[in-house]
Homo-oligomer: A and B are copies of this chain.
Amino acid sequence: MDSKSKACSVRFEPSGLKIKVPSGTTLLEAAHGAGIYLSSICGGDGYCGKCKVIINHGQLHSRPSPLLSSEEIRENIVLACQTKVLSDLTVTVPKSHSLETSQVLMDTDSRIFGKLMGQTQIEMFDYEPLVRKLCVEMSPPTVLDHTADHERLYAAIRELIDAPVMQTGFHVLQKLSNVLREDNYKAAVTIGQRGGTTEVIEIEPGGRCKTNYAVAVDIGTTTVVAHLIDLTNGKTIDTEATYNSQMSFGEDYIRRIIYAEQTNSFDQLQECLVHDVNDLIITMAVRQRIDLQDITAVICAGNTAMIHFLLNLDPTRIRREPYVASAALVPPIRAAEAGIQINKRGLLYCLPSVSAYIGSDIVAGVMTTRIYTKEKLSIFVDMGTNGEIVLGNKDWLVCASSSAGPAFEGSGIKCGMRAGSGAIESLNIVNGDEIRFKTIGDSQPIGICGSGLLDMLSELFVNGIIDRTGRLKVAGDSRLTEGDDGIQFQLVEPQNGQREIAITQSDINNLIRSKAGVFAAIRILMNSTQTKLEDIDSVYIAGGFGNFLNVQRAVTIGMLPDMPPDRLRFVGNTSIAGAKTVLLGRKAIETAERIAGSMTYFDLMGNPDYMDEFIKAKFLPHTDLSLFPSVRNLKLHVST
């Protein structure tokens, strides 16, 4: 305890950020304290090996780890979570391991990341944004018409739109009279819907009518995606994405809730998300030369835990029986209250969630795919860090959530990355061993995104490079090399300044676990509702895989049920698509609430058959090949 009380100064290079911590603090904690987000999938348990840093000088106590190679040990590389500070220290955070790397990868090409499906969806609802800027023209007062300015404005607004219940914020009220006179009673009035109330959130002189923007955000456990929308025409004018900064507190949200609860760091976890969202907004605003004051709304979809963290609502009961959210229908609040840096009177909307484990991202997916309107049954799969499944039609909707893990988001995979410039997005193995791939932006390959990983797993399987359990066949291929993490399949050799790109046995196991979780969940929902495969009309798969997904290969690896290819559809990021639908057609919020209220949740963990189905699905494509006739008919290079 005595040594613990000594204060040590830790300096992180290359940022130069410093922090004083008590002796005995781990480097991971110190980094968090200094505002540096080290990648850490395991949340500090020492088994993901992501939080490697280089010690420049100083004293420390580091626990030995099999995740460090002898070369790394020679280079003074340690796992930050397993290393305690004992004196003043200087530490270098390698580019490849900090989140900055991801941001470096994210140039303009990343705009295609999280592409929106279906402009059609917007057409279902009248174009009536949640926040609108109206051009209002009033006749100036006279001796015979001395209606007060505020009531004059209301009357003029009501000539344009239906707004029976109106409200004006105090600060708007205070400046109203002067603004109205600046442009002789022509004004640009920004109005926002807050439930049944139409609120005047901003007033400007008439000339400012034509600038009004909003941001739609999909807050995933692993990735955060944002779209910038011009509210005057509904067009998406920019997109941006980043990894969720909370990742250093644990891969999944349950781990993060535990961390926050144990260390009472809810504020810190909120700050991570707010920081991410602000970063995305500011990046896009700067790129498009838009004043942040002209962004008047942010609309978010995400799982229930992420929405709780964003708003600093208590998330602790999400993980405890009976699994209760603080709020599923979150009322609109002023974005500034949550720390979001848009117009200081702008509004923050969150799409409605179903329950603790089925978030608004899934409600958005159901809305976007319109499965809630159809006679026939559909399956909707959202591959995020959790793989959520919805089965149903216009009469009923059931859903479940599997702990898929973020493998298909490029996280927890040695060379995994989000769908940004340089990511391998599709891949074929020709003639047994010749690898052909395509990168986003046709850039130098620097990693593999979700669609590439799916292709890879399928091709390794179809070409017999892995067996039905996913094991790399050591004696099979010249591409198999021994890397730092054991045997691996090499796609790109490290030469001419090119980075090595390879997939490890551990990567393959992660990917198979993800797909198995999803398929097992589909089976449970189908069995529980006595749904047969022939009853299913369509399967929609959503997620941040990339621009294109070879959906047939999702069948080949046994992630999706074996259906004709024309009934399988990759729908991209439906979470953000749903958020945009509501943003641009405010009546859609009622549809979203109706969907949220009508979904029945199946708890997989409480289902004794789930583990059984999961184990069967951990084979490629499945233990029961009769479920995958199309795969059986492939000319597999693998003994079935």
Contact = CB atoms under 8 A, between A and B. Distances in A.
A147 to B, nearest CB: 8
A324 B355 contact: no
Interface string A107-151: 000000000000000000000000000000000011111111111
A313 B173 contact: yes
Given A148-B328, A170-B337, A327-B148, A165 B322 contact: no
Interface in A240-295: none
A197 interface: yes
A531 interface: no
Contacts of A196: 164-165, 196-197
A150 B328 contact: yes
B174 A314 contact: yes
A151 B195 contact: no
Contacts of A355: 146, 148
Interface centre among A148, A323, A329 (most CB of B within 10 A): A148
Interface residues of A, number: 50
DSSP majority for the A interface? loop
Contact of A311 (B174, B324, B331): B174
Contacts of A328: 147-148, 150-151
A338 interface: yes
A434 interface: no
Contact of A327 (B150, B322, B338): B150
Given A165-B165, A177-B317, A196-B196, A324 B170 contact: no
Given A165-B197, A176-B326, A333 B170 contact: yes
A338 B173 contact: no
A323 B337 CA distance: 37
Contacts of A324: 141, 146-149, 177
A331 B173 contact: yes
Nearest to A332: B167
A109 to B, nearest CB: 37
- In order of increasing CB-CB distance, the 6 nearest A-B pairs are A150-B327, A165-B196, A148-B325, A148-B328, A177-B326, A177-B314
